[in-house]
Amino acid sequence: MATTILNHPLIDHKLTIMRNKETGTKEFRQNLDEIAMLMAYEVTKSLPLQNIEIVTPICPMTGKQLIRPVVLVPILRAGLGLVDGFKTIIPTAKVGHIGMSRNEETLQPEEYYAKFPSCLKEADVLVLDPMLATGGSACAAITNIKKRGAKNIKFACLVAAPEGIEVMEQKHPDVDLIVAALDEKLNEKGYIVPGLGDAGDRLFGTDQ
């Protein structure tokens, strides 16, 4: 598995706006959407291609096309904030959903919903969640997706804690991990420091 930390200037600029506690719902959403498009470009960099014979208006040539369909899997709720940006860059992508809620006391993820397109097994699956904290939610979501036959999986997140990356590397060594920004640590409540707070609450305007 490869772990990539993007550290991209445009993403860092937009992420700083998202991190600021004065930033409201509208701007938080807008910046997440813009970052998602930039991340989609980076996450898809290593997708495999195959040759295809075509004819241009000038002559025949060997072109390239993606080998497999792409399936986006946002981890609900906060992962939904990345879907539109990824769909803008990959308009043919199918979308599966997995609902995970982290128990505030035990920090264990609880799955409450799962629905996937039938091409999951042969697809390039891009699992999306802005936050990788303890790594529990992402690991559980990926375990579920693997049980359904998915083999080519990448996990894209905006902000990660070192603890979450370590857990992912141990439990899912075959999954590529693409992280926009690596933060310092988790606090005693399992929140990423400095982080951006509760991504789901800030995205949907629910209580924080």
Ligand X SMILES: O=P(O)(O)OC[C@H]1O[C@H](OP(=O)(O)OP(=O)(O)O)[C@H](O)[C@@H]1O
Ligand Y SMILES: O=c1cc[nH]c(=O)[nH]1
Contact pattern for ligand X over residues 46 through 85, marking x by CB under 6 A? -----------------------------x-xx-------
The reply, when asked if residue 102 is annotated as ligand binding, is yes
Q: Is 102 a catalytic residue?
A: yes
81 binds, among ligand X, ligand Y, Mg ion, none (CB under 5 to 8 A by kind): none
Asked if 195 is part of the footprint of ligand Y (rule: CB under 6 A), the reply reads yes
Asked if 132 is part of the footprint of ligand X (rule: CB under 6 A), the reply reads yes
* Token duo for residue 12: 């860092």
Q: Is 84 a catalytic residue?
A: no
- Which residue, 8 or 19, is less far from ligand Y as judged by CB? 19
**Separation in Å, CA 108 to CA 81, 100, 105, 183, 203:** 22, 10, 8, 21, 22
The reply, when asked if residue 69 is annotated as ligand binding, is no
**Separation in Å, CA 128 to CA 21, 52, 78, 108, 156:** 23, 30, 9, 19, 5
Lookup result for tokens 């991990």: 177
**Separation in Å, CA 47 to CA 67, 171, 179:** 8, 22, 17
Contact, 34 vs 85, CB < 8 A?
yes
Q: How far is the CB of 189 from Mg ion (least distance, A)?
A: 12
Q: Is 29 a catalytic residue?
A: no
Q: How far is the CB of 139 from ligand Y (least distance, A)?
A: 14
Q: Is 33 a catalytic residue?
A: no
User: Active-site residue among 25, 88, 106, 206?
Assistant: 106
Asked if 204 is part of the footprint of ligand Y (rule: CB under 6 A), the reply reads no
Strands 97-102 and 185-186: unpaired
Q: Looking at 61-69, 90-98, 171-179, 192-200, which segment touches ligand Y (CB under 6 A)?
A: 192-200
How many angstroms separate the CA atoms of 97 and 145, rounded?
10
How many angstroms separate the CA atoms of 146 and 143, rounded?
5
- Which residue, 72 or 199, is less far from ligand X as judged by CB? 199
Residue type for position 157: C
How many angstroms separate the CA atoms of 164 and 175, rounded?
14
Residue from 6, 71, 98, 131 binding ligand Y (CB under 6 A):
131
**Residues known to be catalytic:** 102, 106, 198, 201
Q: Interface residues with ligand X (CB under 6 A)?
A: 75, 77-78, 100-102, 107, 109, 129-138, 164, 190, 198-200
Query: Which residues participate in the annotated binding site?
Result: 77, 102, 129-137, 192, 197-199
